[in-house]
A and B are shown apart, each in its own frame.
Chain A
Amino acid sequence: MESIGNLLLGFSVALTPGNLFWCFVGVFLGTVVGILPGLGPAATIAMLLPLTFKMDHTAAIIMLAGIYYGSKYGGSTTSILLNVPGESASVVTCLDGYQMARQGRAGPALGIAAIASFVAGTVGVIGLMLIAPPVARFALRFGPPEYFALMALGLTMVVFLAGKSMIKGLLALFVGLWLAGVGTDLFTAESRFTFGQMELLDGIDFVIVSIGIFAVAEVMVNMESRGGTELFKVPKGIRNLMPTLKDLKDCRFAFLNGSVIGFLIGVLPGAGSTIASFLSYGAEKAFSRHPEKFGTGVIEGVAAPEGANNSETGGALVPLLTLGIPGSNATAILLAALILWGIKPGPLLIQDNPGMFWGLVTSMYVGNVMLLVLNLPLVPLFAQILRVPYFVLYPGILGISIVGVYSISNSLFDVWLLGLFGLLGYAMRKLDFPAAPLVLGMVLGDGLERALRQSLMMSEGHLSVLVTRPLSTTMICLALAILIMPLVNKVRFFRLKAMEQDV
């Protein structure tokens, strides 16, 4: 009953014409910055922050949150169409989304990304509304050993991303882990593997590596033959550009999986939407009836990670609003905004500012509907990009890649690195090394090392700390089970083969 009252209060705030307008401005800007690499949600929110000082605070937080979750909708567009991840959480979408585009199914891929984002985004908001305080308290039980176990569980996703050769998948993963360690050690301020380059002291941004090994390498592969290989077929007719009922049916578990995993990972400060999308993709593949088809253009491979990275936004607002703990750059700037306006996020926020809290939550329902209405009609329009001749598309993709990388920190050194990682990605393609495990290692490497070292500091060097706490023990057992699974399958395969030969 209380929930219904809160919901009604929220809608009475969110549905005022002024708040509806700012919600639309937020989600529209979010979609634009999500589509175009180079300007992420954190930078956009930071740039617009001074403009909000004279605004009503509820309207301002509705708009800023709209930019945050709106950017997640747009992030998949360049991943699917050009193999350029618009933001880090959209890297996994490249795996199947781009393959779908190559098969002439860019429209359904873009459509399912929007629908999955809507479904999971709405589930994330429901989660934020119903279970925010208890889930936030649960998340506080996560110490370094639990974070290490979570990261280890994330690393086991290599099993699902490795492709034909597990050894090659693991090698790519280890290279990713090494890359994540380049730069200044946060515990001792010692520099590692910087080769005397000042620019490497801050480490290598994960976006540079992703764009290099996905986008630049893809362009190089297509440059091999004159006139390019026939990549981009775009079927005519709007009906062929939208997901079919069968597509939606195929994705029903992906929607659920993305929603749940995204929300739970979002609640954990620091875990982030990239990890959520990797875990969701891995889970979808693990429980799929046709895991071998993942990576070749399977629609569930787009729906699960896109759902997860949108549901994560609802989850990420839980620790921010109920505990005052930001889990990402964008939520850190939202926290700064609340503090600048004189509002203290934390357990008393709901009690002291019910109109703002419930207004924000319900505006996210409204914003998700706006995003779906805004994005679905754009699908046929975006799909037309693929009709652009290849000799325009290739320099265009390289230009977008350079802009995306340069704008991270306005550094030309980063652009040189982009070129080098492009060459590495091309070599990996030629030598049949999978690229996704390398990116996975880079995403998780830093957090894994930090959590392991903090755990060992806590226990004065005893590794037992990782397996004596119930949550971490459960996750480590799960990780081991996932790692052992392919071996068991292989043994079973050989046994069956031997039995067949005996017969």
Chain B
Amino acid sequence: MSEKKELLSGICLGSFGVYVAFEALKLPYVSEFGPGPGFFPLWIGIGLTLLSLLLIVASLFASTAPENSKSQSRTAIGRALVGWSGLMLAIGLLHWLGFGLSLALLAVFLILALERRSPWVAISVAFGLALGFHAIFVLALGLSLPAGPWGF
């Protein structure tokens, strides 16, 4: 399992290294002032590719370890990705609803969908967080946070 993960990451990073090197080749390697903008990224791309090859080779020759009983289940990763999707949704709503409301909705989502607490707990926490953030960052520190149609 661990070797498969290493092989996969080696292939992904190797492809990324090749992409970086190819993109760097489109930039001038030398400019009239000396090394050009493509100089450094080209070597980074080459380094990434070579290191990825090493990782792939190491994963191919590694002895297969027994399946770890603690290996991450799909459910666990699924839960983390659901939480992350909630965060991305809240970020998408920042422009439309403002920071306070988006954070409150994120809190409600995480508490209801992932933690399965009662709606009252979710609403209380969401309200408290939105109010606390507004008091500390907007009122006390004077930071400008994304505001919705209601001005917060």
Binding site for B on A (CB under 8 A): 36, 38-39, 167-168, 170-171, 174-175, 177-178, 181, 185, 187-188, 190, 192-193, 216, 219-221, 223-227, 391-392, 394-396, 398-399, 402-403, 406-407, 410, 412, 415-416, 418-419, 422-423, 426, 430-433, 449, 452-454, 456-457, 460-461
Contacts and interface: CB of A to CB of B under 8 A. Distances in A.
Interface of A is mostly: helix
Contacts of A418: 91
Contact of A395 (B76, B94, B95, B125): B125
A412 B129 contact: no
Interface of B is mostly: helix
Nearest to A178: B44
Given A220-B80, A224-B76, A426-B80, A174 B54 contact: no
A57 to B, nearest CB: 26
A391 B47 contact: no
Interface string B30-44: 010111110111001
A451 to B, nearest CB: 11
A190 B91 contact: no
B28 A188 contact: yes
A227 B115 contact: yes
A426 B143 contact: no
17 contacts: A167-B58, A170-B51, A171-B13, A171-B55, A178-B20, A188-B33, A223-B79, A224-B77, A224-B79, A392-B128, A395-B129, A396-B129, A398-B106, A402-B99, A416-B91, A419-B91, A422-B87
B83 interface: yes
Nearest to A417: B91
A412 B23 contact: no
A423 B143 contact: no
Nearest to B39: A453
A226 B114 contact: yes
Contacts of B16: 175
B76 to A, nearest CB: 4
B64 interface: no
A392 B6 CA distance: 36
Given A187-B34, A394-B83, 9 more contacts: A216-B87, A224-B79, A394-B110, A398-B103, A403-B145, A430-B72, A431-B9, A432-B5, A433-B9
Contacts of B114: 223, 226
Interface string B1-33: 010011011000100110010011001100101
B27 A395 contact: no
Contacts of B63: none
A309 B70 CA distance: 38
B35 A456 contact: yes
A483 B137 CA distance: 45
A70 to B, nearest CB: 15
Contacts of A431: 5-6, 8-9
Interface in B101-150: 103, 106-107, 110-111, 114-117, 121, 125-126, 128-129, 133, 136-137, 141, 143-146
A141 B145 CA distance: 44
Contacts of B94: 402, 412, 415
A224 B51 CA distance: 31
Interface in B56-74: 58, 72
Contacts of B88: 416, 419
Contact of B116 (A167, A226, A398, A454): A226
A419 B87 contact: yes
Given A419-B84, A430-B72, A225 B91 contact: no
Q: What 8 pairs between A and B have smallest CB-CB spacing?
A: A457-B34, A395-B107, A224-B76, A185-B37, A223-B83, A220-B80, A190-B37, A449-B40
B49 to A, nearest CB: 10
The listed residue with most B CB atoms (<10 A of its CB), out of A175, A415, A457, A461, is A415
Contacts of A460: 34
Given A187-B31, A433-B9, A391 B117 contact: yes
